Chains A and B, each alone.
Chain A
Amino acid sequence: MAGSSAPETFPTPTILPLGDSGLLVRFGTDLSDAANRAAIALAAVLDRQPVPGVLEIVPNLVSVLLRYDPLVSAPAEIAGEVRLRLFGLGDAASTARRWTIPTRFDGPDIDEVGTVLGMNRAAFVAAHNVHPLRVLATGFAPGFVYCGLHAGALVLPRRTTVRPSVPAGSILFAAGQTAIAATEMPTGWHVIGHTSFANFDPAGTPPTRLAAGDVVAFEVLS
């Protein structure tokens, strides 16, 4: 799932204003593997070949946010520079790092998840870990990473109720993705396990370890 040597065909993006100080380069309105790969690849190119006047580049699930100073730069010029970089957009997998996430699959929702998917716990854990996952994006909270995408058999909506608090290190599962919570937070995702892997250190440079495009393998601890 993570990484391919074949030339990539990426969706054609839409470039939209996000307020008066941001542009969003959006590769789709639904989460797809191709749109996510494209967002990661564009962010990598923009990191390597910065566009003058752009203050911040943020890869999201299916888009890249470019924040700029409107007193310095015109959005049309930035969009033009982005379009130049969209030609020959390569797969960013070559720069991806690989991580092992030691995980106890003993979360409060794991058996219910297995039941809904028609598997016992061992079968679900095996299916969950059959492929390494790609870090799709960081968002929502400090160091919170979305990883995926799982195959169709592992797609499950979120819970209908929100847990008011789950601890840092919680392994979350919903919508064909596995997320790792790096801080204590409320969540509507299914809690399937926890890890000692700490993705957020406010004193660190950078403050998070996992980046979009990285490859994560969950190591089962018993």
Chain B
Amino acid sequence: MSAVLSIVRAGPLTSIQDDGRFGMLRHGISASGPMDRGGFAQAGALAGGGHGGIEFTMAGLEIRLASGRCRVGFAGGGFSVRHNGAALDWPGSVALAEGDVLAITPGPWGNYGYLRFDADVGVAPVMGSVATSSRARLGGLDGRVLRAGDSIELVGSGTSGGAGDAEPRPAAEGPIRVIWGLHADLFAPTLRQRFLAASFNVSSRLDRMGVRLDDAAGVFADAASLSLVSDAIVPGDIQILGEGTPIVLMRDHQPTGGYPRIATVISADLDRFAQLRPGSPVAFVPVTVEHAQALLRSRRT
């Protein structure tokens, strides 16, 4: 099976992703991969399991199937979708024939949505992955975001993926859970308490590398600027920049960094955090590593 889709309209930061380019941290390259891994997996299960997919942002996306046929699954945040003008349920899937148009427009919640197919996204893997790294400018289509006029080939029978739950996921609410971070002990106990007591807001400065938080209460306004030896970063790390801005590092994070990190968002909550729109309030609550891992196990069963 083979098909070609054309990008008719793309918002900024639309990119090709797969699960990620793992194993390259020692070469200075973070894994990338979907900002909402659960949404990406759900779109894959709905489509029938081709490798790779398209991540789009709040601005939406419009594609046209230039040739061939395919099934497309869509999931992620809450979006509106029309197939040749007819509204479909979101999340869901639909069969596309040559000339069909799928138009996705902003919906009630979320920053990221996913299109996946019953065939593989036909771009050349770089270091074993088609995930686009906005930081390293590699992977995907020439290492860049997608834009109107791009063509993407769909190849193969799409048997390489398919893991994931096609059922809608329950909308989790409440504080974002964290594990105390690498440098938590460098923050005074009173400052750690204020970090937990405060409500932050997702700022408008967010991308695949990191999400800056507005700190209206000025929790970190007077935090001492520390000079630290550069050390490993993992997705979800909350680092405090020199002038006191908290930033949650995301999938295209720097592989290492020297700003102090107070906590790390747990894996079970990082998708939900990624989907919080600018202005959303965010509070943090600490959990143990064991609790964070139990949450991942319970999600699997």
Contacts and interface: CB of A to CB of B under 8 A. Distances in A.
B23 A202 contact: no
A58 B232 contact: yes
A207 B296 contact: no
Contact of A17 (B127, B254, B289): B289
A207 B231 contact: no
Given A138-B27, A141-B136, A62 B229 contact: yes
A127 interface: no
Given A62-B229, A63-B232, A140 B296 contact: no
Contacts of A206: 27
A19 B28 contact: no
B264 interface: yes
A211 B27 CA distance: 8
Nearest to A141: B28
Given A140-B256, A141-B28, A208-B27, A19 B229 contact: no
B293 A20 contact: yes
A60 B300 contact: no
Interface residues of A, number: 47
B197 interface: no
B232 A208 contact: no
Contact of A58 (B26, B126, B229): B26
Contacts of A144: 28
If over half of A's interface residues share one DSSP class (helix, strand or loop), that class is named, otherwise mixed; here it is: loop
Given A19-B179, A62-B231, A143 B266 contact: no
Contacts of A172: none
Contact of A22 (B22, B232, B254, B257): B232
Contacts of B296: 20, 70-71
B8 interface: no
B264 A142 contact: no
Contact of A18 (B26, B182, B228, B265): B182
Interface in B247-301: 254-257, 264-268, 289, 292-293, 296-297, 300
Interface in B124-154: 126-127, 135-136, 138
Nearest to B257: A140
A57 interface: yes
Nearest to A55: B22
A142 B27 contact: yes
Contact of A208 (B28, B237, B257, B300): B28
Contact of A143 (B27, B126, B237): B27
Nearest to B139: A202
B231 A202 contact: no
Nearest to A32: B229
Contacts of B181: 18
A193 interface: no
Contacts, number: 128
B24 interface: yes
Nearest to B229: A31
Interface in B17-60: 22-29
A138 B255 CA distance: 9
B254 A140 contact: yes
Contacts of B264: 18-20
Given A61-B229, A140-B255, A19 B234 contact: yes
A19 B267 contact: yes
B225 interface: no
B121 to A, nearest CB: 18
Interface in A19-65: 19-22, 24, 26, 28-31, 43, 55-63, 65
Interface in B201-258: 228-232, 234-237, 254-257
Given A71-B300, A202-B126, A202-B138, A20 B232 contact: no
Contacts of B24: 207
A19 B232 CA distance: 11
Contacts of B126: 202-203
Residue of A16, A18, A22, A211 ringed by the most chain B CB atoms within 10 A: A18
A18 B234 contact: yes
Interface in A167-222: 182-183, 200, 202-203, 206-208, 211-212
A139 interface: yes
Residue of A16, A43, A65 ringed by the most chain B CB atoms within 10 A: A65
14 contacts: A18-B232, A19-B179, A19-B266, A58-B25, A60-B231, A70-B297, A141-B28, A141-B136, A142-B27, A142-B136, A200-B28, A202-B127, A208-B28, A211-B26
Given A16-B182, A19-B235, A142-B29, 20 more contacts: A18-B182, A18-B234, A18-B237, A19-B237, A20-B266, A20-B293, A24-B232, A26-B231, A29-B229, A55-B22, A56-B25, A58-B232, A60-B232, A61-B229, A61-B231, A62-B231, A65-B234, A71-B296, A139-B230, A202-B138
